């Protein structure tokens, strides 16, 4: 990526979000306009969505719903809090929230890395399909609900029904878990799991945390096929 020595600053109190996205979505792969700095977001919804180029977008302030949704290739840095659905359905790249994130952070994500330096609300990582999510704080109830693939790392605590109806995603939790959801269980952590956790902590900037302090949770694999004895859990 041929990054500019200075960012392109866009004041969202003066520039329409549609016009910004027309610029970002029209970037060619060999463009040198690769560093964008957005100011005065004022909690607007759908900021920096649908990016499909290896650009860096930093946002100074809080954002609303679905910021950095459907991200591919880009690195999006949110220097504030994020509303529901941040990095929803992201495909690749990196999204980082310096503050807290509301519900459904990283929902349906297929790839890339989402880092939340604060806490995340309910349903963090719901239906994740390959994304890696690292939360420095705690997550709310029903996190990793129906998570199919990928990794959720929680450096704080987890709320009720963690990993309900989980498939093959891994959940690493350093703190307490209020309750486990249907078909989620504590699992022994082998060397391969530990290597994955250590790599994610390092990439997120939390290498000072010891992998030995985390517990691994995964699918008990009882709900893969319908069985009448498990009817109450579906």
Report how far residue 212's alpha carbon sits from residue 133's, in angstroms, rounded to the nearest whole number.
Answer: 19
Whether residue 65 is contained in a domain is answered as yes
Q: Over the stretch 60-103, which tens digit does the pLDDT of each residue have?
A: 999 999 999 999 999 999 999 999 999 999 999 999 999 999 99
Whether residue 209 is contained in a domain is answered as yes
The CATH number of whichever domain residue 154 belongs to comes to 2.160.20.60
Whether residue 2 is contained in a domain is answered as no
Q: Over the stretch 122-137, which tens digit does the pLDDT of each residue have?
A: 999 999 999 999 999 9
Work out how many domains the chain is built from and give that number: 1
Report how far residue 208's alpha carbon sits from residue 25's, in angstroms, rounded to the nearest whole number.
Answer: 37
Report how far residue 193's alpha carbon sits from residue 108's, in angstroms, rounded to the nearest whole number.
Answer: 22
pLDDT attached to residue 4? 54
Whether residue 214 is contained in a domain is answered as yes
User: By the 8 A CB rule, do 51 and 71 touch?
Assistant: yes
pLDDT attached to residue 222? 83
Q: Over the stretch 173-205, which tens digit does the pLDDT of each residue have?
A: 999 999 999 999 999 999 999 999 999 999 999
What is the per-residue DSSP string for 30-65? T-S--EEEEE--TT-SSTT-S-BSS-EEEEES-B-T
pLDDT attached to residue 230? 61
Q: Which two tokens stand for residue 201?
A: 């902590």
Whether residue 1 is contained in a domain is answered as no
- Mean per-residue pLDDT of the chain: 94
What secondary structure letter does DSSP report for 211?
A: G
Mean pLDDT of 143-153: 97
Report how far residue 139's alpha carbon sits from residue 153's, in angstroms, rounded to the nearest whole number.
Answer: 10
| Global confidence as pTM | 0.93
Q: How far is CA 82 from CA 9, 47, 74, 166, in A?
A: 20, 10, 17, 25
How many CA atoms lie less than 13 Å away from 138 in the CB half-sphere? 10
pLDDT attached to residue 218? 97
Whether residue 3 is contained in a domain is answered as no
Please, which pLDDT band fits residue 223 given cuts at 50, 70 and 90? confident
- Determine the structural domain holding residue 219 and report its residue range: 8-233
Q: Which two tokens stand for residue 128?
A: 């994740």
pLDDT at 1 over 50: no
201 phi and psi, to 5 degrees? -60, -40
Torsion sign, CA atoms 186, 192, 198, 204: negative
Whether residue 33 is contained in a domain is answered as yes
pLDDT at 2 over 60: no
How many CA atoms lie less than 13 Å away from 77 in the CB half-sphere? 12
């Amino acid at each position: 990526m041929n990054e500019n020595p200075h960012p392109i600053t866009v004041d969202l109190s003066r520039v329409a979000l549609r016009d910004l996205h027309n610029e970002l979505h029209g970037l060619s792969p060999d463009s040198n306009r690769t560093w964008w700095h957005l100011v005065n977001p004022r909690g607007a919804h759908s900021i920096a969505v649908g990016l499909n180029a290896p650009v860096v977008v930093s946002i100074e302030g809080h954002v609303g719903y679905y910021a950095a949704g459907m991200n591919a290739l880009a690195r999006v840095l949110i220097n504030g809090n994020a509303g529901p659905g941040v990095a929803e359905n992201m495909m690749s790249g990196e999204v980082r929230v310096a503050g807290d994130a509301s519900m459904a952070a990283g929902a349906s994500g297929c790839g890339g890395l989402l880092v939340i330096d604060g806490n995340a609300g309910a349903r963090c990582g719901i239906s994740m399909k390959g994304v890696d999510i690292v939360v420095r704080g705690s997550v709310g109830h029903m996190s990793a609900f129906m998570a199919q693939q990928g990794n959720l790392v929680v450096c704080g605590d987890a709320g009720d029904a963690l990993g309900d109806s989980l498939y093959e995603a891994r959940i690493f939790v350093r703190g307490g878990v209020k309750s486990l959801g249907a078909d989620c269980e504590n699992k022994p952590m082998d060397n391969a799991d530990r290597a994955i956790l250590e790599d994610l902590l390092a990439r997120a900037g939390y290498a000072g945390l010891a992998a030995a302090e985390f517990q691994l949770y995964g699918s008990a694999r009882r709900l893969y096929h319908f069985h009448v004895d498990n009817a109450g859990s579906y």
